[in-house]
Amino acid sequence: MALKINDTDVLLVVDIQNDFCPGGSLAVPAGDEIVLLVNRLAAKFQHVVLTQDWHPAGHSSFASVHPGRKPFEVVTFPYGPQVLWPDHCVQGSVGAEFHAGLDVPHAELIIRKGYRRAVDSYSAFFENDRKTPTGLAGYLRERELSRVFIVGLALDFCVRYSAEDGHRSGFEMVVIEEASRGIDLDGSIDAARRAFVELSIPAMPIDGIR
Ligand code: VGL
Ligand code: ZN
């Protein structure tokens, strides 16, 4: 299967930020390995959108604000289960900056997410309450961008939730796993792959994209 990129396609590049790369506070194993691949892939697309995890200091998803809790524990928030993370991607910090090697000057939009203290936001489309929109769906519809190729960090959290929510919002989603890396908490990478199969979200090899 080969896919030809056209002008109604968009590449969604998720959270390629210092804190998600080796040396960062929530490093995804080999997260930096995808950067050059993403640059090359992005050059094939007329339309690219970036996301940037963007938390206020003391964000409710940080284990550090929950006395007695440790990173990677799961707690119950008003909207459901929530993993507690090390402090990461604090607004204006170096950790929140894009990886210095990310070179996508033609990106048209940066969606920041997770900026509400009480609500985390994995997905580029909806916050973790699953009902507060980020505005991305409206943007893509207005721009008549209907097929969304998705890459980035982390495959099992922000990439997964973005792919699912995009699919539910009526977009054709394609995950490029080769240009994504996962955190893998308790089998979360396998769970992400199963979720993609369940929704018939294809996993496209980079070679298949022209
Ligand atoms: C992410 C955990 C917390 C991600 C963001 O980008 O996948 N994961 N915040
Ligand atoms: Zn985050």
The H or E element spanning position 176 is strand 172-181
- What is the model's pLDDT at position 205? 87
Ligand 2 geometric centre to CA of 164 (Å): 18
Query: In testing the pocket of ligand 1, which one of 157, 160, 188 has its CB within 8 Å of the most ligand atoms?
Result: 157
CA distance 52 to 24: 15
DSSP string of 95-157, one letter each residue: GGSBPTT---TT--EEEEE--STT----SSSB-TTS-SB-SHHHHHHHTT--EEEEEEE-III
Residue with tokens 């963007």: 54
Q: What's the pLDDT score for residue 139?
A: 98
Q: Which atom of ligand 1 is nearest to the CA of 53?
A: 5
Residues contacting residue 208 through CB under 8 Å, at least 6 positions apart: 1, 2, 3
Q: Are 51 and 111 in contact (CB under 8 A)?
A: yes
pLDDT the model gives residue 62: 98
Q: What is the pLDDT of residue 210?
A: 84
Tell me, in angstroms, the distance from the centre of ligand 1 to residue 57's CA.
15
What integer pLDDT is reported at residue 204 of this predicted model?
Answer: 83
8 A C-beta contact, residue 18 and residue 97: yes
pLDDT at 138: 98
CA distance 170 to 105: 28
Query: Tens of pLDDT along the chain (210 residues)?
Result: 688 999 999 999 999 999 999 999 999 999 999 999 999 999 999 999 999 999 999 999 999 999 999 999 999 999 999 999 999 999 999 999 999 999 999 999 999 999 999 999 999 999 999 999 999 999 999 999 999 999 999 999 999 999 999 999 999 999 999 999 999 999 999 999 999 999 999 888 888 888
Full-model pTM: 0.97
Strands 172-181 vs 147-153: parallel, antiparallel or unpaired? parallel
Say what the pLDDT of residue 1 is.
66
